Structure 1
Amino acid sequence: MKPLQPDTLIRNPDGLPIVASVVVDCPASRLWNVVGNFSGFDVFIPDLTHIEMTGTGVGALRTKFFRDGNCVVEQLNSRDEQAMHMTWTTIYNTLGVARLWAAIRVEALGAECSRVTWTIIAEPMDEANAGFEQFVQDFADSALANIRRLLG
């Protein structure tokens, strides 16, 4: 009998990056305090009812609960407070996403102006899902438009 070997279901997605970005009339630190809060995405994504965290810092898991009953579990991969960026990976979801990696970065454009950029690389469970990329783009664009309304 062959001994069991290390294995995993987690791998990075293939595909073109989907990028959403907005400029907000507020200091970069204020913008980062909102979008850089891994446990606080329900502040700017109205489709979320709440978020539950397991652990803190890099390696922590967040479970996002959606109003329609869906849920997503994501792991924080990296976070740099000074550079104002973080990355995460979806490890479980009920949305039909096979794999997803995402990053958020905030950059100062001046004392009272900053930009947030959300980059997502994702693969659908069903390769025939023709509207998948547009769904992801619309989701990210809508979330960042909410940020602009909240802080701008």
Structure 2
Amino acid sequence: MPHVTATKAMPVPASKAWEFVSNWGGTDKWIPGVGPVVVEGSGIGSLRSADLAPETGFPGRISERLETFDLHKMSFSYCVVGDNPIPITNYLARMSVKAISKDSCEVTWESTWDTELDEAELVVAFNGLYNLALDNVEQLMLSENQ
């Protein structure tokens, strides 16, 4: 089972980064190739779905379910449900925010999954996506401060 972890230190308070990445319906603002997000329900068990753009290499609708949400530990996890345009199964991801100082933090996005394709290629693809998305999170939060 492949495992990918992307971590980025950011010059913003942990509470601000947490507010940003834990917005269950806001991923289209910072994950490249993700269309508008539709959320059904609230809290653990809620679903979000979005269309992946053709340039992602996996066009189609993806749906995810919120599995855990811990406000105090600033972490949540989710899984992919239903039909999935990405050739993976058993996808489980976790995002977390950890304070480094009062004005800086570390954001981590990690996942595991199964696939019948070349695992190494998907590891590279997910790693690239996660790092680009975390760069986008940082840029968006810093631009809000200006």
Shorter-chain TM-score range? 0.7 to 0.9
TM-score, structure 2 normalization: 0.87
Give the 4+ runs in structure 1 shifted more than 6 A. none
Q: In the alignment, is the contact (CA less than 8 A) between 2:2 and 2:123 conserved in 1?
A: no
Secondary structure at the aligned position of 2:50 is classed as strand
Match of 1:49 in 2: 35
- Tell me by how many angstroms 1:118 deviates: 0.6
Cα 1:72/1:120, change in 2 over 3 Å: same
Q: Give the residue type in structure 1 aligned to 2:75.
A: H
From the CA coordinates, give the structure whose radius of gyration is larger: 1
Match of 2:53 in 1: 67
Match of 1:133 in 2: 123
Q: Give the residue type in structure 2 aligned to 1:135.
A: A
Which whole-Å deviations, capped at 9, do the CAs of 1:15-48 have from their partners, x for residues lacking one? 2421001011111111001111111111111311
TM-score, structure 1 normalization: 0.84
Q: Give the residue type in structure 2 aligned to 1:90.
A: V
Superposition CA RMSD, Å:
1.4
Secondary structure at the aligned position of 1:48 is classed as coil
Q: Give the residue type in structure 2 aligned to 1:76.
A: L
Q: In the alignment, is the contact (CA less than 8 A) between 2:53 and 2:60 conserved in 1?
A: yes
What residue ranges of structure 2 are gaps of 5+ in the alignment?
none
- Tell me by how many angstroms 1:75 deviates: 0.6
Match of 1:106 in 2: 97
Counting helix residues as a fraction of each chain, which structure ranks higher? 2
Q: Give the residue type in structure 1 aligned to 2:67.
A: N
Cα 1:118/1:130, change in 2 over 3 Å: closer
Q: Give the residue type in structure 2 aligned to 1:26.
A: V
- Tell me by how many angstroms 1:127 deviates: 3.3
Q: Which moved more, 1:58-67 or 1:101-110?
A: 58-67
Secondary structure at the aligned position of 2:48 is classed as strand
Q: Are residue 82 (structure 1) and residue 72 (structure 2) matched?
A: yes
Match of 1:38 in 2: 24
Give the paired residue count. 137
- Tell me by how many angstroms 1:49 deviates: 1.6
* Separation of aligned partners in 2, 1:83 and 1:110: 15
